[in-house]
Amino acid sequence: MDPEILRSSFAVVERRAEFAVKYFYSHLFWHHPDVRTLFPLDFPEDMERQRDRLFAALTLVVGRLGEPGTHEYLAELGRDHRKYLARPEHYAAVGGSLIAAFAAVSGSAWSTGVEKAWSEAYAVIADAMLDGAGEAERQGEPPWWDAEVVGRTRHGDDLAVLNLRPHRPLSHLPGQYASVNSPRIPGVWRPYSLANAPRPDHSVDLHVSLVEDGVLSTELVRRTRAGDTLRLGAPGGRLTLRTPVERPVTFIAAGTGWAPVKALLEQLAWEPGSYDEARLFVVARDTAYLYDRGALGELRTRLPHLDVTVITPAPGRPKAQATGRLLTALGNRANWARHDVYLAGPPRLVEATAEVLPVLGADPERVFRDDLPPTGQGQARPLGPGEWLLHRPRPHWHNPSARSRDIAP
């Protein structure tokens, strides 16, 4: 398996992503009609969204091939995919159709060597995912957890905090996420961070922001009520606390990125020993979206060494100004080389912040963020190598000389 052959081949395929996805699903459903039942009922009307989900997932997997921890990542993916009721024969079917689609769109760039590389790579991917699924089954883990909604709090028109009590204990680490499904929308799963450290009663909180045209977010925010049952997939993700107590730590939470950061701070408050230097930046698109002030105040009391900065746009200014204010505020702080950084929030803000932190002196290896499984909603898929050359993204500029401290008014 040659990662370089795979990446260069994938760059060619990405340029014809839409046709590749249509070919893939047509080939799959024609040759394996039984697989059709695994996909949401509204498919394939929204082909653009399906294209983005598939290629965002492939971008993540191809980018990880050959790197340390790849097998563990894929095993976790396979463990989670049991919620789709995927069986070993489905993996073989998907692999055959995926390679057929890549060959169809690659033209002269496709060769025996490229096909061999993709066949070997897919075998590695499928084996690792099946290993994860098999291990979960041997441990008696269900494909999903049914959970009753026991509490619901609305914050404005487009955000809700749901408190769920799983029917059987759900083991998770602070900072992890779980896929969520409503039985009223079969086949549609979306990842949401679990907004609390583990509790004795095993309940969990979800912070759900309404996404424009989002099928599941609309269901959760506007129609889900106490007494309803939701499904939770296996917890996953690596935005987990790994900082020793003697090392300074910074948390940056934007929007509902507050959910995993809140869980990490709860763990911090319960850990034996004391973090002598801890910083928290909370970013919201408007003061009205600082929705969990009570919990923030309680955590400040429990963590006396926590320095909190709240950032919003200036009154009447566009919400995008919050990103610039955050970057300026980060530039006004020192000692980034000593800090571990945990970062969660909207993808574009996370990307902009992750690019700036090394400029300020932070160690890129100590900047932790999670690659949530792509949903294709509210964000564009990552640009692959081929598309990046054709449509280079605008750089995020940062002025290190700026000295004003921008915080919420």
Residue 16 domain flag: yes
* Counted domains in the chain: 3
Residue 57 domain flag: yes
Mean pLDDT, range 81-94, rounded to an integer: 89
| Phi, then psi, of 272 in degrees rounded to 5 | -65, 145
Instruction: Give the domain-ending residue among 121, 138, 155.
Output: 138
Q: Based on the domain organization, do 256 and 362 belong to the same domain?
A: yes
Residue 398 domain flag: no
C-alpha to C-alpha distance for 53 and 188, rounded to whole angstroms: 12
Its domain, for residue 352, covers: 249-390
Going by pLDDT thresholds of 50, 70 and 90, the confidence category of residue 249 is very high
Closest by CA position to 339, among listed 360, 365, 366: 366
Q: Based on the domain organization, do 228 and 271 belong to the same domain?
A: no
**CATH number of residue 381's parent domain:** 3.40.50.80
Q: Which residue has the higher pLDDT, 274 or 390?
A: 274
Closest by CA position to 156, among listed 321, 309, 287: 287
Backbone torsion region of residue 189, taken as left when φ is above 0, otherwise alpha when ψ lies between -120 and 50, otherwise beta: beta
265-267-268 Cα angle (round to 5): 60
Identify any residues that bridge with 229 across adjacent strands, giving them in sequence order.
Answer: 148
DSSP conformation letters of 224-241? --TT-EEEE---B-S---
H-helix segments, 82-232: 88-106, 112-138, 215-218
Residue 82 domain flag: yes
Q: Based on the domain organization, do 384 and 259 belong to the same domain?
A: yes
Identify the weakest region by mean pLDDT among 33-37, 181-185, 262-266, 389-393: 389-393
> What's the chain's length in residues?
409
H-helix segments, 228-384: 258-270, 293-302, 321-331, 347-360
**CATH number of residue 225's parent domain:** 2.40.30.10
| Phi, then psi, of 231 in degrees rounded to 5 | -115, 140
Instruction: Give the domain-ending residue among 182, 207, 232.
Output: 232
pTM for the model stands at: 0.81
pLDDT digits (tens, 9 = 90+) for 95-122: 999 999 999 999 999 999 999 999 999 9
